[in-house]
Structure 1
Amino acid sequence: MRVENAMVLAAGLGTRLRPLTDRMPKPLVPVGGQPMIDYVLDAIAAAGIRTVAINVHHHADQMEAYLAGRTDLDILISDERAQLMNNGGGLAKGLKLLPPGLVLVMNADLFWVGEPDGVPSNLQRLMAEFDPSRMDMLMLCARPERVVCHAGKMDFRLHPDGRLTRYQAGDPDPVVYSGAFVMHTDFLADAPETAFNLNLTFDKAIARQRLFAIELAGHWLTVGSPQELEQAEAFLASRSVPA
């Protein structure tokens, strides 16, 4: 079954990135000369997906106006102006705009650069390797050496068979969730219609031993604070300098 639709989580407040996010939504904060969300939407379009649901809340009018300019994608707006649904509730609500089936889910403020040329992209591999017979979710995860400007802890342990469990101090093979996964919409069929955190869904898949991952190619960036924004800009600038 082919993945034909995507959901991008873009409604967060971005409080750690203030004062920039006092006047604009975090996904529109420029990094390396373009808004963060464009890295995500460019990757989705390059992977062959055309229909994308995107949730909005913080500076929603700005988000809608900007997204209207993406004529390469059929964008459906999941409006959370009235109530912010957290990432889990936002996903469950946004999926109602899409037909049932496989879906690619991405964060609007986590992205990667430096994928090798001439081979399938991270998203193409992710979509091709999802196996609903043994997986609830297939995540894209980054090894620590592939992570730029991320001060948080490791998220998961990647087992030799590709299965994920929560990382515990001292575990081998730690990885960071890179902001993209594939799932079937049925997995959230019983989700509440209230705000909830997506980590509850991850833990559900772990309990069923059905949360899996592939490794990211390239370097993964998260820009959650002004300091991380500076680090990201410096990293991207260093890549653009001729050898």
Structure 2
Amino acid sequence: MGCVSSNLLSQDEELAQLGSSSLGHHIVSLTSTTYGLLTLDPPSEPKPQVINSWELMSGLEAQSFRKPKPFPALCPPNGENRVVIYTTSLRGVRKTFEACNAVRSAFEALGVQVCERDVSMHAAFRDELRLLLKGKPALPPRVFVKGLYIGGADDILCLADEGLFSELLQGLPRKKPGAVCDGCGDMRFLPCSHCSGSCKALVRVKEDASAVARTLVVKCSRCNENGLVLCPLCS
């Protein structure tokens, strides 16, 4: 039933095929009726795989979850309960400038009040940072939090990745959104009112009581090398 090819072949052809070494199988063609009688077993459903999370975590060491090492105690002047960042506004080295901006933005995103000290605008800040680090790399940015030396931009990024950045800033004063300093507009410096930023001052000098007083030009003692003074409100 349903073997069409078998009916079409003659006896001689069947004998020739049986004797041939190349054809070792009987040719069978199935009709549509035969297909309808076939029953196929449905595919078996895969057994659910049970994952034991404790077995996956058994190979992990406890030290992989440890907190970072304690930060060294290095406190900048007036930096006991605040964030102090030593930065630079010079764009000579683009990588350094962008790293300073990234660190500043990280603190601003969390709304933390920051005391930023620009070493390129005030030489005293540069000397202050070198004295604090004492031979360690003093390339900005350098971050100090609550009198502890945190490090540079890479260290801040690692703390953020480990989820420890927010914990480090707990208890610090916050800055209101959009608030700026009324004295300097968050520029942190003001032009010297004594020399108008020229770094020069006039001094009258008398060598003796009878001599005529002479006017000398000296360096202004109230401002820094750029003719600027620190803002009295936010510095």
Query: What range is the shorter-chain TM-score in?
Result: under 0.3
Where is the strand percentage greater, Structure 1 or Structure 2? 1
**Larger Rg computed on CA atoms:** 2
Higher relative contact order by CA 8 Å / sep ≥ 6: 1 or 2?
A: 1
TM-score normalised over the length of structure 2: 0.24
TM-score (norm 1): 0.23
